[in-house]
Structure 1
Amino acid sequence: MRGGWKMYAGPLVPIEFSLVSKKRLGALALVIDEDHGTPCPTCVIESTHTDLQAAIHELARRERTAEDTIGFFDRSNGERRAVGIHTAGLFENWIESTTYDAVIWTDGESNFLRTTGSVFSLPAARQHLLSLDVPARREAQRYLRNAPKRVDTPLRQTSLTAGWWATD
């Protein structure tokens, strides 16, 4: 990566903590979620790579994920990959206001229903989080608390209220 993060300089994208993350011990992680997400500003950092495939490879390595879970839009030829129907368009519209040749993003999809058996909702998310063991629950709290401030989703707002984590 080159330079520092440009906080909230990216497009507004529907995001929610609706990914049950193995690497976060089952805590809920941020994911682009066109069904349950709230439009949130995204952050931008430049890649040192000039080759799109090399940049995709590097982001996949950093995120410890498969390359096919990295979305992209290439301005030069209009080629794109995105899980959500509308997601690539959000990035395409945004890139038109920049001098970037391409944009890449982590493009996993919500696995909440598949993993928990429940449709994502605040009560279902709370139930899942409270079912975690203590180390995983601590990781979940840390991750929710430390997300960028303007990633202010309903789950984050609710989880930070007093008593939300009580199991009684």
Structure 2
Amino acid sequence: MNNEQPTIAILAWGSLIWDDKWPEFDKQRGDWQDEGPVLPLEYSRVSKSRHKALTLVVDEDNGEDCKVMYALSKRKNPADAIADLRDREGTIMDHMGFYFVEHPERKCIPKVPDSIPAWAEAMDIDVVVWAGMPSNFSDKNVVKKGEAFSPDAAVAHLQKITPEGKAAAAEYVWRAPSLVDTPLRRRLQLELWFPAPKLG
């Protein structure tokens, strides 16, 4: 880490990129860029704020490798960048992922994906920050609690949630960047009942 302001990268793959309802978060970061690390992603988290729609998380059991996006934080202190993202995601510190290149002994609760350390060093990034919420599909599935995630189970879940939830799910899936290519996204974009939302 240099003696001045550390270079802090925020990773993103979902609504951070396109949902502009959080201007306080957005003003503390630069533009989103394409060349982030490759992470295993899947729509395997049931979202309370999106009416039980499924949202993208790092999921080593069910995810498919996708290149994600990143933006540089304008913060001087990594703790502030972590707090910015935690507040934006409405989550707890135990769900925040971070990696310090020069201090890898500083551990977060979420597992650090193997791709992040090498990417950070190659990109001359000092600190990497991401949302590390776990999959909760098995616990929150509205069709059969305890059922493991699968594309079939996920489709059945989405078909059972409210119209508001279906609309939120459609917006979230269709507006994800093209870099995000998962089995469930490919399946949903072929479903006649899951139309692309009217934007603008």
TM-score by length of 1: 0.91
| Structure-1 residue corresponding to 2:30 | 3
Structure 1: which 5+ runs fail to align?
none
One-letter code of the match for 1:115? K
Map of 1:33 onto structure 2 = 59
State how 1:79-118 maps to structure 2 within 5 Å.
Answer: 79-84=106-111, 87-116=112-141, 117=145, 118=147
Distance 1:31 1:41 in 2: 13
Q: Residue 90 of structure 1 aligns to which amino acid in structure 2?
A: S
Among the aligned pairs, what percent are the same residue? 34
Higher strand share: 1
Which amino acid in structure 2 is aligned with residue 39 of structure 1? D
Q: Comparing 70-79 with 118-127, which one deviates more in the overlay?
A: 70-79
Indicate if the aligned counterparts of 2:42 and 2:58 stay in contact, CA closer than 8 A: yes
Question: Which secondary structure does the structure 2 equivalent of 1:77 belong to?
Answer: coil
Where has structure 1 moved over 4 Å in runs of 4 or more? none
Change (3 A) 1:162 1:2: closer
Task: Name the residue aligned to 2:160.
Answer: 131
Instruction: Indicate conservation of the 8 Å contact 1:81/1:88, yes or no.
Output: no
Q: Tell me the residue number matched to 1:120.
A: 149
- Hey, what does 2:93 align to over in structure 1? 67
Letter of the 1:53 partner, please give it.
A
Instruction: Give the direction of change, closer, same or farther, for the CA distance of 1:55–1:11 in structure 2 (3 Å limit).
Output: same
CA distance in 2, matches of 1:10, 1:82: 21
Q: Once structures 1 and 2 are overlaid, which stretch shifts more, 139-148 or 29-38?
A: 139-148
TM-score (norm 2): 0.77
Number of residues of Structure 1 aligned to a counterpart in Structure 2:
163
- The alignment status of 1:49 with 2:75, answered yes or no, reads yes
Q: Deviations over 1:23-64 (max 9, x none)?
A: 111000000000000000010011111211111111101111
Asked if structure 1 preserves the Cα contact closer than 8 Å seen for 2:151 and 2:184, the reply is yes
Cα shift readout 1:65-98 (whole Å, capped 9, x = no counterpart): 11221100011211232523xx343211211101
In structure 2, C-alpha distance between the alignment counterparts of 1:52 and 1:68, rounded to whole Å = 16
Pairwise CA RMSD of aligned residues? 1.5
Letter in 2 for 1:122: P
Aligned-partner Cα distance in 2 for 1:163–1:76: 50
Indicate yes or no: 2:180 matched with 1:151.
yes
Secondary structure at 2:30's aligned position in 1?
A: strand
- The unaligned stretches of length 5 or more in structure 2 are 1-27, 196-200
